[in-house]
């Protein structure tokens, strides 16, 4: 049986400061939880409102309790609390993706999933980027979170002394099909509304543009879609 203090703790994990304090985060959905377990994340508490489940270590919870602690509008019957894993030190021996002020949890989750698909193992986020253990990021990453390491640090001090090419998407860049991608390297994506910050822009060595159709009136590509195209070209 789940006690009130546990429900209160779980609910508190919707906020970053509490996730950091307790070293815990939420994974919702049977598949996400199974993925986390299969990837050796350490469970703290596994809860389910369903009568039957393939994973038999779930504790029973009522639908009402679940909706109190879920981060989803429509909870899906399973909620796991896991320990935030320790990760190795960031290195620049292969591709590193840098995210500069990304705000939307769905975009971060989708980019983690894309990194996993295209074999990018490290993401460096500016401190103002949405937190990777935000329940909506975890949800959108579809299990890829366990295979991609995400770091938070001030970007410029980390990258300014590196001797690797730094790619970034800009309206006025060179057409992506003419870019040569050299590894080790860094690929930077910016904030949804404002793009890459002015200060970080000065460190970009290779400006990339993804062309729209000449007749298009669309203003911009979604950042996760831009990332999909850049990663595809990088591996092409």
60 versus 171: smaller Cβ distance to a copy of itself? 171
For residue 208, the cross-strand partners are 174
178: contact with a copy of itself by CB under 8 A: no
Instruction: Give the shortest CB-40-to-a copy of itself separation in angstroms.
Output: 13
Q: Draw the binding track, 59-88, toward a copy of itself (x: CB under 8 A; -: no contact).
A: --------------x---------------
| Cα–Cα nearest to 39, from 130, 146, 199, 169 | 146
Q: In what order do the strands lie in the sheet with 122-125?
A: 149-152, 122-125, 95-100, 185-190, 166-175, 206-209
Residues within window 112-141 making contact with a copy of itself, judged by CB under 8 A:
113-114, 116-119
170: contact with a copy of itself by CB under 8 A: no
Which range of residues in 10-18, 59-67, 109-117, 158-166 is near a copy of itself by CB under 8 A? 109-117
* CB burial of residue 197 (10 Å; 0-12, 13-18, 19+): middle
**Interatomic CA distance for residues 166 and 157, integer angstroms:** 14
**Interatomic CA distance for residues 33 and 123, integer angstroms:** 22
14 versus 147: smaller Cβ distance to a copy of itself? 147
Long-range CB contacts for residues 178-181, cutoff 8 Å, separation at least 24:
179/206, 179/208, 179/233, 181/233, 181/234
10 versus 228: smaller Cβ distance to a copy of itself? 228
Instruction: Give the shortest CB-203-to-a copy of itself separation in angstroms.
Output: 26
Instruction: Give the shortest CB-212-to-a copy of itself separation in angstroms.
Output: 5
Size, binding site for a copy of itself by CB under 8 A: 35
216: contact with a copy of itself by CB under 8 A: yes
| Cα–Cα nearest to 9, from 63, 18, 80 | 18
- Residues of this chain that interact with a copy of itself (CB under 8 A) are 73, 106, 110, 113-114, 116-119, 142-144, 147, 177, 210-219, 221-222, 224-226, 228-229, 232-233, 235-236
């Amino acid at each position: 049986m789940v006690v009130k203090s546990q429900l209160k703790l779980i609910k508190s994990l919707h906020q970053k400061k509490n996730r950091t304090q307790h070293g815990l985060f939420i994974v919702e959905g049977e598949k996400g939880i199974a993925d986390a377990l299969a990837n050796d994340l350490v469970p703290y508490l596994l809860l389910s409102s369903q009568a039957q489940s393939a994973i038999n270590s779930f504790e029973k919870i009522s639908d009402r309790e679940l909706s109190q602690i879920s981060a989803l509008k429509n909870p899906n019957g399973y909620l796991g609390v896991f320990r935030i894993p320790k990760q190795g030190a960031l290195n620049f021996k292969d591709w590193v993706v840098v995210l500069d002020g990304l705000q939307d949890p769905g975009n971060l989750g989708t980019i983690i999933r894309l990194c996993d698909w295209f074999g990018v193992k490290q993401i460096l986020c500016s401190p103002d980027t949405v937190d990777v253990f935000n329940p909506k990021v975890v949800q959108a990453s579809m299990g890829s979170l366990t295979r991609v390491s995400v770091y938070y640090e001030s970007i410029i001090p980390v990258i300014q002394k590196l001797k690797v090419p730094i790619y970034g998407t800009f309206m006025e860049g060179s057409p992506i099909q003419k870019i040569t991608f050299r590894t080790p390297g860094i690929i930077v994506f910016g904030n949804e509304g404002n793009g890459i910050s002015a200060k970080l822009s000065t460190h970009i060595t290779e400006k990339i543009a993804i062309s729209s159709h000449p007749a298009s009136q669309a203003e911009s590509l979604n950042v996760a879609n831009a990332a999909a195209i850049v990663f595809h070209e990088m591996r092409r």
